[in-house]
Amino acid sequence: MNAPVTPRTIRIHPDDNVAVVVNDGGLPAGTALPGGPTLVQAVPQGHKVALTDLPAGTAVRRYNVVIGHTAVDIPAGGWVNEQRLVMPEARSLQGLPAPQPPADLPPLEGHTFMGYRNADGSVGTRNLLAVTTTVQCVAGVLEFAVERIRKDLLPKYPNVDGVVGLTHSYGCGVAIDAPDAIIPIRTVRNLAMNPNFGGEVMVLSLGCEKLQPERLLPPGSIPISDERQGPDVVCLQDEKHVGFMSMIDSILTQAKTHLERLNARQRTTCPVSELVVGVQCGGSDAFSGVTANPAVGFATDLLVRAGATVMFSENTEVRDAVDQLTRRAATPEVADAIVRELGWYDAYLARGQADRSANTTPGNKKGGLSNIVEKAMGSIVKSGNGPIHGVIAPGEKVKQKGLIFAATPASDFICGTLQLAAGMNLHVFTTGRGTPYGLAECPVIKVATRNDLARRWHDLMDVNAGRIASGEASIDELGWELFHRMLAVASGEKTWAEKWGLHNDLVLFNPAPIT
């Protein structure tokens, strides 16, 4: 016999006319909500309950934002789900509010981490050998070589954390001169320069591909401060190679010179301002915007106050909050750049006869997220409360501190890949439904939105923000906990995904034609 449960719901804003059921397993019909209506039907966990009668056509407010209008009469205590809600039109990109940015947050001092300083001034949180590729054709050879490097070479270089093959699907069979081809090309280029690779650039090329090494990395594109002349390129079609082992030996020989230099590096004390953090969510549920994302938002504010760079992304998940973003822009130029990026993305989606409603998955809906408006309002809180200082386009490198809108698709792997290209050295990822997401190039701290997920996935989730819903911790407490965990992980503490070696593929964003 289970102890009787205390019904718990969360209403984000006093003007909201729905609240979200918090209890594991949901609540049965007949449950009297404290200070609220009695449920007229069972409502699953994470789903919305009407707090007042909502006749058909009533605006449903969550986050004090209209997330839709009721399609049918819903009585107080009724279940408000995606089938009973009509999604509002997308906000026009014309006539958006002018910037009225909040004041810069007060500085936060006295926090450091142990990182690897690079010659170009960036700082790594890991010390990895990365091998860049110009084309997918070489992926199998590189995988073989990476395995040999791992087994035969890495034991001799104990200060090196690992070896990563930067394989991808680009490089040939693509319209490489199309205007949008700049996006995948600069992504591969900037990935090679991620701070976690120590400025050691090594390239594996096939020979006949469209993306030639000198096109990928033209002279001057690698900020090398010493006498080194450019990237080491191993070309498989080079006539000197006779037999497969000749190629592998060549890769291993080149790898050794990079491993020597990487192995000589030591972690040193670095200010938090050297962190470049990418925040993202995936497998979201209705708790994402109540627990994990607000805690991430609190930590975002702490990082920005300490002078760090924090990138938030995921175009389709911020699109419905565009008016909030332009209002928070630090300057009119930043507001214009936000509109430019989201306008470009609207056109990109329209070209494929899709719109923002293509976002939200069956799992999102099962988790209580009725539509993209509701998802967006919960997603954007990851960006905290400060002004937005800058904007970068997909695949660009971030060059400034503060809070940055890095425009990317919301797809977890594409967003992560583009944030890596931007120079991310630490990734924070929130999930409600649960995903084992991880990257080989950069540590990923995963934050669970619910106690039940944290309990079941205890050896996959790094932080449990579900404690906010159960009243065991406040958003501030969780935010500070996450901040300290970020500094520990940046200093070398392994995440669960690193302990298990869970790595997703790099996935490029290629809006240009394939040939």
Q: Which residues bind Ca ion (CB under 5 A)?
A: 280, 282, 410, 412
Of the pair 259, 410, the CB lying nearest Ca ion is at: 410
Residue 95 φ/ψ region, left for φ over 0, alpha for ψ in the -120 to 50 degree band, beta for the rest: left
Of the pair 82, 317, the CB lying nearest Ca ion is at: 317
Among 108, 114, 132, CA closest to 425: 114
Among 137, 144, 132, CA closest to 210: 137
Grouping H, G, I as helix, E, B as strand and the rest as coil, residue 230 is coil
Minimum Å gap between C-beta 439 and Ca ion is: 13
d(CA 20, CA 9): 5
Of the pair 68, 278, the CB lying nearest Ca ion is at: 278
- The structure tokens listed for 160 are 């090196």
Of the pair 412, 481, the CB lying nearest Ca ion is at: 412
Minimum Å gap between C-beta 357 and Ca ion is: 16
Minimum Å gap between C-beta 436 and Ca ion is: 14
Of the pair 23, 280, the CB lying nearest Ca ion is at: 280
Task: Please state the separation of Cα 422 from the chain's center in Å.
Answer: 12
What number of CA atoms fall less than 13 Å from residue 150's CA on the CB side? 12
Of the pair 70, 280, the CB lying nearest Ca ion is at: 280
Minimum Å gap between C-beta 409 and Ca ion is: 8
Minimum Å gap between C-beta 313 and Ca ion is: 8
The residues near 113 (Cβ < 8 Å, ≥ 6 apart) are 125, 269, 270, 272, 274, 275, 487, 488, 490, 491
Minimum Å gap between C-beta 419 and Ca ion is: 10
Minimum Å gap between C-beta 408 and Ca ion is: 9
d(CA 333, CA 154): 47
Cα dihedral 330, 336, 339, 340 in deg (nearest 10): -130
Of the pair 61, 433, the CB lying nearest Ca ion is at: 433
